[in-house]
C-alpha cells in the first residue's frame, strides 16, 4: 500500500538578513539550512516520530508538511498528490481539512479572545461542515472525547481560565474535529507538567485508535517517542542520521549521535546509571548557516575518521527497515 | 465574563491618580453631552438671532455670559456650540479610525510592497504640520465656502480626520506586526481560514486595544483643530454657534475690554480638550499591559 505521506529530498533554507553595509558590499546572501535534504515516508495508521535536539529542523519539517512553510526544494506527496508547491487557495479547499497540527505551546496556540466552544467550532464554520445545533452538538461531543467533562461547562470558558493540560486538550479537540487523516503533533507535551504528559499521550493514542489517525510526532524526548511511536527518525542539523522502527533504533542504536542521545536520558536508579556505558559528545551543534563539511556530526563524533570530514555519508539500509547514515557501518 | 474583567481592571479597589483622572474626564464629557442634547431647552435665547440684548453687555443676570458685538447671547451660543464641537470632533475621529485601523491591520498583516507604499503615504501625511494639512484639505473641499451648515461640518470633519489617519494606522500596524507572529494566527492558517477571517477573528481583536487611548486624545485635538479651522475662516461660517468661531470673532473686541466674548468659548474648548486628554492619558496608563509590574 502506498504510504500516506512521502517526503523526498526535502529542503528548507531561510535567508539570513544582511546588514546595510553587507548589502552595499553586495556580499553573497547566506542561508540557514534548517532542513537539508531529508527523505522518509509515513505509513497510513502509524505513529512516526521525528526526534532531535532544538535547532535540528524537526519543527521546520512539521511546518513544511502542514504547509505553513513552502519548501525550498524536494517533494512532499500526500496520498499520491504532490503538495510541495500547491498554492494556499487550493490547500484550503482540501488539504487543510485532512492534515492538522497540534502546537507545542497551548498557551500561545489558542486565541485569547475566543471561547473554547467558538475555537473548536471555528474549523467547522471555515469549511462549512455544520451549523447551529448540529455544530454545537459536534463540539460538545469532541469536548467529551478529549476528556473535558462536563462539556457544557468548558464550552463557555476562555483559554485563560484553563490549565495548560486543559488548553492542550482544547487544541487537540480543535485539530481533530475536522476528522483529519494526518495529525502533526509538534512536541505537544513539552510545555506541560510532567504529571500531565502521560495523560495527554494516552489521550492521543486513544483518539488515534478511535478516529483512525496517522501521527507525525515531533519530539526531543526519546522516552516519549519510545512510548508513542512505531517508527522513528533521528535528525541532526537538518539531516536524518538514523531511521527505523523504535525497537531497532532505540534498543539497538547504530549511529553515534543516537547512542549519545540515548545515554543522555537520565536513569532514576543510581547503580544502573553508574554501570551503563555512556557515549558523550563534546560541544554544541554547529551553526546551520555554515555546517561542517562531510558528515555534519564529525567534529563531535567519537568515531570520526579523515573520510568523515570529506565525504557525506548516505542513509543506507543496514538491516531491513533500519537506515543509518554513518561511514563506520559498512 | 471578559467585560467584568475589564471593568475590574479599570476600576479596582486600589485606585491611583489615573482612575480619578478617568472619572473626572468622563463626568465632564457627560456634562458636555447633556449640554449639547438639551441646548434647545436650556438656552434662554436663539443663538443666531441678533440684538436679543444690547451689544457689548457684560455678564449679568439677564445675559449670564454677556452679549457680543451684534447683541447675541453668548451663553446660548456656548450651549449650542457644544453640539457642533462634539459632532465635528466625533465625526472626525470616527472617519479617521474607520480608515486608519483597517489599513493598519491590512498593511501590518500582509506586509510586502503594499505595506511599504501605505507606510510611505502615511508617514508623509504624518510629517506634514497637522493644522496646515487640515487647512489645505478644508480649503480644497470648501472652495468659496460650503453651501450648507451640514456640508460645512462634514467637510471640516473630513479635513481633520485626514490628519489623524496616520496615528491609527501606525499604532495598529505596529501591534499587528507582533500579534501576527503569535502561534494562534499560524493555527488559524493551518485550520484553513482565509486572510479575511484571520484578520477579523484572530488579529483584529488582539490588536485594537492600543488604539483606544488614541481615540480620546484625538477627540481633544479634533476640538482644537476644528476651532482653529473656524478661527482661520475655512471651518464653519461666522454666524454659526461654534466655540472656535466665537473665539475667532470675539478676540477682536479684547482691546475694548469685552473679555467675555472670547473667554467663555476659550474656556469651553479648554475644558473639553482637558476632559478628553484626561480620559486618553488615564486609559493609556490603565491599559498598559506592563502596569501590573510596578
Does a structural domain hold residue B222? yes
Whether the per-residue pLDDT at A272 is higher than 80: the answer is no
Residues of B numbered 143-182 whose beta carbons fall under 8 angstroms of chain A's beta carbons: which are they? 182
Does a structural domain hold residue B2? no
Q: Which residues of A touch B205 (CB under 8 A)?
A: 111, 113
Q: What is the pLDDT of residues A309-321, one digit of tens each?
A: 888 999 999 999 9
Subunit contact A158:B205, Cβ cutoff 8 A = no
Helices (H), chain A: 20-24, 58-65, 88-90, 96-98, 116-126, 132-145, 151-155, 164-176, 194-211, 222-228, 246, 256-263, 270-275, 306-310
Query: What number of H helices and E strands is found in chain B?
Result: 11, 0
Whether the per-residue pLDDT at B140 is higher than 90: the answer is no
* pLDDT (0 to 100) of residue B213: 80
Beta A214-219 vs A47-51: how paired, if at all?
parallel
Cα of A100 vs its chain's centroid, Å: 12
Inter-chain CB pairs, A–B, below 8 Å: 59
Cα of B65 vs its chain's centroid, Å: 26
Does a structural domain hold residue B115? yes
Does a structural domain hold residue B245? no
Whether the per-residue pLDDT at B248 is higher than 90: the answer is no
Residues 6+ apart with CB under 8 A from B211: B97, B101, B168, B171, B172
Q: Of A66, A96, A103, which is closest to B183 when you measure between CB atoms?
A: A103
- Indicate the SS3 state at residue A217: strand
Subunit contact B190:A122, Cβ cutoff 8 A = no
Whether the per-residue pLDDT at A21 is higher than 90: the answer is no
* pLDDT (0 to 100) of residue B293: 41
* Closest-approach residue (CA) in chain A for B197: A126
The DSSP secondary-structure symbol of A161 reads G
Distance between CA B74 and CA B172 in Å, rounded?
42
ipTM: 0.86
For the entire predicted model, the pTM comes to: 0.80
Q: What is the pLDDT of residues B259-290, one digit of tens each?
A: 888 899 889 988 998 898 888 888 877 776 55
Angle at B72 between CA B66 and CA B78, to 5 degrees: 70
Distance between CA B222 and CA B155 in Å, rounded?
13
Subunit contact B192:A96, Cβ cutoff 8 A = yes
CATH value at residue B91: 1.10.3720.10
Subunit contact B193:A158, Cβ cutoff 8 A = no
* Closest-approach residue (CA) in chain A for B188: A123
Domains located in chain A, CATH noted: 5-113+158-324 (3.40.50.300)
Residues 6+ apart with CB under 8 A from A282: A300
Q: A185 phi and psi, to 5 degrees?
A: -110, 110
Domain containing residue B233 = 82-240+269-293
Confidence of residue B144 (pLDDT cuts 50, 70, 90): low
Mean pLDDT to the nearest integer, B119-124 = 94
DSSP H or E run through A76: strand A73-78
Distance between CA A215 and CA A246 in Å, rounded?
14
Cell numbers that stand for B166 in this block:
496616520
- Cβ atoms of B154 and B91 closer than 8 Å: yes
Q: Which residues of B touch A178 (CB under 8 A)?
A: 191
Whether the per-residue pLDDT at B2 is higher than 70: the answer is no
Q: In chain B, what percentage of residues exceed pLDDT 70?
A: 92
Does a structural domain hold residue B129? yes
Query: What are the strands of the beta sheet with A47-51, ordered from one edge?
Result: A99-102, A182-186, A214-219, A47-51, A231-236, A239-245, A322-324, A316-319
- B55-84 burial, b for 16+ CB within 10 Å, e for fewer? ebbebeeebebbbbeebbbbbbbbbbbbbb
Cell numbers that stand for A90 in this block:
487550493
Does a structural domain hold residue B277? yes
Q: Which residues of A touch B187 (CB under 8 A)?
A: 101, 103, 109-111, 171, 174
From the number of C-beta atoms within 10 Å of its C-beta (0-12, 13-18, 19+), residue B172 rates as buried
- Indicate the SS3 state at residue A36: strand
Cα of B49 vs its chain's centroid, Å: 29
Cell numbers that stand for B91 in this block:
465625526
Whether the per-residue pLDDT at B143 is higher than 70: the answer is no
Does a structural domain hold residue B96? yes
DSSP H or E run through B270: helix B260-286
Mean pLDDT to the nearest integer, B76-93 = 89
Q: Which residues of A touch B192 (CB under 8 A)?
A: 91-92, 96-97, 123, 126-127
Neighbours of A273 (CB within 10 A): 11
Q: How many domains, in total, are found in chain B?
A: 1
Q: Does B49 touch chain A (CB under 8 A)?
A: no
Subunit contact A100:B193, Cβ cutoff 8 A = no
Distance between CA A126 and CA A118 in Å, rounded?
12
* pLDDT (0 to 100) of residue B242: 85
Confidence of residue A216 (pLDDT cuts 50, 70, 90): very high
* pLDDT (0 to 100) of residue B178: 92
For chain B, the average pLDDT equals 85
Residue in B190, B196, B197 to test binding to A, most A beta-carbons within 10 Å: B190
Q: Give whole-number Cα distances, B64 to A281, B61, B79, B101, in Å.
A: 90, 6, 12, 44
* pLDDT (0 to 100) of residue B170: 94
Does a structural domain hold residue B169? yes
- Cβ atoms of A67 and A94 closer than 8 Å: no
Mean pLDDT to the nearest integer, B23-27 = 91
Q: Give whole-number Cα distances, A321 to A8, A231, A246, B50, B112, in Å.
A: 17, 10, 11, 101, 46
Residues 6+ apart with CB under 8 A from A134: none
Q: Which residues of A touch B2 (CB under 8 A)?
A: 113, 158
Amino acid at each position: 500500500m502506498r504510504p500516506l505521506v512521502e517526503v523526498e529530498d526535502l529542503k528548507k533554507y531561510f535567508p539570513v538578513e544582511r546588514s546595510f553595509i553587507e548589502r552595499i558590499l553586495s556580499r553573497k546572501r547566506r542561508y540557514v539550512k534548517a532542513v537539508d535534504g531529508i527523505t522518509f515516508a509515513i505509513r497510513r495508521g502509524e505513529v512516526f516520530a521525528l526526534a532531535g535536539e532544538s535547532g535540528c529542523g524537526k519543527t521546520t519539517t512539521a511546518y513544511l508538511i502542514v504547509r505553513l512553510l513552502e519548501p525550498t526544494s524536494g517533494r512532499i506527496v500526500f496520498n499520491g498528490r504532490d503538495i510541495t508547491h500547491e498554492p494556499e487557495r487550493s490547500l484550503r479547499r482540501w488539504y487543510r481539512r485532512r492534515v492538522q497540527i497540534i502546537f507545542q505551546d497551548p498557551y500561545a496556540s489558542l486565541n485569547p479572545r475566543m471561547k473554547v466552544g467558538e475555537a473548536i467550532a471555528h474549523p467547522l464554520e471555515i469549511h462549512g461542515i455544520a451549523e447551529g445545533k448540529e455544530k454545537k452538538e459536534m463540539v460538545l461531543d469532541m469536548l467529551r472525547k478529549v476528556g473535558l467533562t462536563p462539556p457544557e461547562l468548558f464550552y463557555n470558558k476562555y483559554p485563560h481560565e484553563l490549565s495548560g493540560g486543559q488548553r492542550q486538550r482544547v487544541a487537540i479537540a480543535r485539530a481533530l474535529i475536522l476528522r483529519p487523516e494526518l495529525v502533526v503533533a509538534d512536541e505537544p507535551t513539552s510545555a506541560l507538567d510532567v504529571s500531565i504528559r502521560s495523560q495527554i499521550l494516552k489521550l492521543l493514542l486513544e483518539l488515534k485508535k478511535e478516529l483512525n489517525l496517522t501521527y507525525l510526532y515531533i519530539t526531543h524526548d526519546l522516552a516519549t517517542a519510545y512510548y508513542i511511536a512505531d517508527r522513528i527518525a533521528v535528525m541532526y542539523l537538518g539531516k536524518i542520521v538514523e531511521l527505523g522502527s523504535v525497537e531497532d533504533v532505540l534498543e539497538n542504536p547504530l549511529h553515534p549521535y543516537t547512542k549519545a542521545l540515548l545515554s543522555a536520558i537520565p536513569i532514576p536508579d543510581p547503580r544502573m546509571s553508574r554501570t551503563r556505558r555512556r557515549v558523550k559528545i563534546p560541544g554544541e551543534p554547529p551553526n546551520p548557516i555554515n555546517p561542517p563539511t562531510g558528515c555534519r556530526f564529525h567534529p563531535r563524533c567519537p568515531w570520526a575518521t579523515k573520510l568523515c570530514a570529506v565525504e557525506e555519508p548516505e542513509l543506507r539500509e543496514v538491516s531491513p527497515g533500519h537506515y543509518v547514515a554513518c561511514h563506520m557501518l559498512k | 465574563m471578559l467585560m467584568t474583567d475589564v471593568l475590574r481592571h479599570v476600576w479596582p479597589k486600589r485606585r491611583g491618580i489615573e482612575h480619578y483622572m478617568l472619572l473626572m474626564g468622563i463626568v465632564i464629557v457627560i456634562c458636555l453631552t447633556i449640554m449639547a442634547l438639551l441646548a434647545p431647552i436650556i438656552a434662554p435665547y436663539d443663538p443666531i438671532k441678533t440684538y436679543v440684548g444690547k451689544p457689548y453687555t457684560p455678564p449679568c443676570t439677564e445675559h449670564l455670559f454677556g452679549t457680543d458685538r451684534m447683541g447675541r447671547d453668548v451663553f446660548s451660543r456656548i450651549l449650542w456650540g457644544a453640539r457642533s464641537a462634539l459632532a465635528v470632533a466625533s465625526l472626525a475621529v470616527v472617519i479617521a479610525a474607520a480608515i486608519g485601523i483597517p489599513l493598519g491591520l491590512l498593511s501590518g498583516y500582509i506586509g510586502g510592497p503594499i505595506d511599504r507604499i501605505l507606510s510611505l503615504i502615511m508617514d508623509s501625511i504624518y510629517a506634514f504640520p497637522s493644522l496646515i494639512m487640515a487647512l489645505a484639505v478644508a480649503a480644497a473641499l470648501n472652495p468659496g465656502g460650503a453651501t450648507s451648515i451640514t456640508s460645512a461640518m462634514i467637510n471640516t470633519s473630513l479635513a481633520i480626520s485626514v490628519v489623524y489617519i496616520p496615528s491609527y494606522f501606525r499604532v495598529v500596524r505596529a501591534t499587528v506586526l507582533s500579534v501576527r507572529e503569535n502561534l494562534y494566527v499560524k493555527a488559524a492558517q493551518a485550520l484553513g481560514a482565509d486572510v479575511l477571517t484571520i484578520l477579523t477573528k484572530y488579529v483584529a481583536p488582539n490588536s485594537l486595544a492600543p488604539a483606544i487611548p488614541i481615540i480620546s486624545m484625538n477627540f481633544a485635538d479634533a476640538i482644537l483643530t476644528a476651532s482653529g479651522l473656524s478661527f482661520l475662516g475655512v471651518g464653519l461660517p461666522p454666524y454659526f454657534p461654534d466655540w472656535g468661531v466665537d473665539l475667532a470673532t470675539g478676540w477682536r473686541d479684547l482691546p475694548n475690554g469685552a473679555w467675555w466674548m472670547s473667554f467663555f468659548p476659550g474656556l469651553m474648548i479648554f475644558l473639553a480638550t482637558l476632559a478628553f486628554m484626561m480620559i486618553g492619558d488615564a486609559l493609556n496608563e490603565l491599559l498598559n499591559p506592563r502596569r501590573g509590574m510596578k
